[in-house]
Amino acid sequence: MRVSIREPRSTDAEAHHDAVMRSVEHLSPWNPVEPDVLPELLRRQGAGLRTFLIINDEDGGLVGKCNVANIVLARFRNGALGYDSYVPYNGTGRMTEGLRLVVDRCFAAEPRGLGLHRLEISVQPDNLRSVAMAKRLGFRHEGFSPRMLYINDAWRDHERFAMTAEEWPGV
C-alpha cells in the first residue's frame, strides 16, 4: 500500500484547501467545490457522519477525502460513501487503495471499525471515473435514481451501487 487513512484534524484545513483548489477542474463537474468545508465537516462528525482523509505515505500529500454519511445502525447498519480525489494523485491508483482501506474500516467490527453491514455509492452516470471506481471496488449496480441529489444548481440523476460485508473480501 502507498497510502494510509485517518480521520481529519483541524490542522488539515490548509492542506485540504490547497488540494481542493488544485483540483477545481477535476471536481467541479460532479460536486460543489468547497475548499473551506473541512472545519464544518469536523463539527458534524458523529454517529451519522465519519470522514476519512487518504494520505500519500511517501510525501504526506492529500490523495482524497471520503465521507461515510447517512450512517444508520440497529438492524440496518448502512452507510453511504462519497469521495473526492485530488490532483496530482488522481489517476495513480492511490484513491482505489485508500477507498479499500475505508471500506475495510466500515465493515470491521467495532471498536476498530464502524460495524456496518451495507455500503452504498451513488454516482452521476456521466462521471465515468467514479462509476469505474465503484465497480473496481466490487460494488454491484442496484439501480438508477432520477433527479436524486441537488448538486451545482440542478437535480442530478445517479446510478446506485451497493455491497454487503459478506461480499467484501477484506472482512
pTM: 0.95
Long-range own/partner contacts, residues 94-97 (CB < 8 A, 24 or more apart): 94/2, 94/3, 94/54, 94/56, 94/63, 94/64, 95/54, 95/63, 95/64, 95/133, 96/133, 96/136, 96/137, 97/1, 97/2, 97/3, 97/54
85-122 residue pLDDT tens: 999 999 999 999 999 999 999 999 998 899 999 999 99
Mean pLDDT of 67-78: 96
Q: Look at residue 169 in the predicted model and tell me its pLDDT.
A: 87
